[in-house]
Structures are given as C-alpha cells and as structure tokens.
Amino acid sequence: MRLALAVLVLLIGFRALAADPSIGTPYTLYRNSVTDPNMRLHIATFDAMERETYNFENCRVAAELFQAQPGVKTKFWCEKGRFKSAP
C-alpha cells in the first residue's frame, strides 16, 4: 500500500512538472561588441530544470555583475530562449 501511494505521488508530481511549460525555460546572456554595438555575442545559457524565474534571475544577476565591472564598455542583456544569432 505504501509503495502504491509513493508511486502515485511521484506520478502526480511528474505530471504536474510536465504540465507546467515554464519548467526548464532557458534564458541566454548576450553582450554586444565595443566596435559593433549591434553585434550579439553569446556569453552563457541558463537552462536549469527549474521554474522560468530561476533561470531569468540567474541570467539577470550575471548580466548586472558583468556590466558593473570597472572599465566595461559593452552592454549585457538576457533574452528568453536558447542562443539565436539574430532576434
């Protein structure tokens, strides 16, 4: 009985994860170039199997930390999804 209950709880949990499209939503950190402000250079992709906000917040914090370094002349930003060479 306990085993059946444990299996049922696991199945319900997995189904809930599968039903939530925000689970595992990746965010990608980009920067431009000093010589070309329109260039999109891939820095990192945040794709933990957590809720969307987890990946977004980690990307946002990384962008802020990179941007705050002394002497940085490039812009850092996050976009939802995996790396794309153009928007």
The pLDDT of residue 85 is above 70: yes
Does the pTM exceed 0.85?
no
**Per-domain boundaries in the chain:** 2-80
Q: Report the chain's C-alpha Rg in angstroms.
A: 18
Q: 1-5, 26-30, 49-53, 56-60: which has the minimum mean pLDDT?
A: 1-5
How far apart CA 3 and CA 32 sit, in angstroms, is 54
Give the mean pLDDT of 26-48: 96
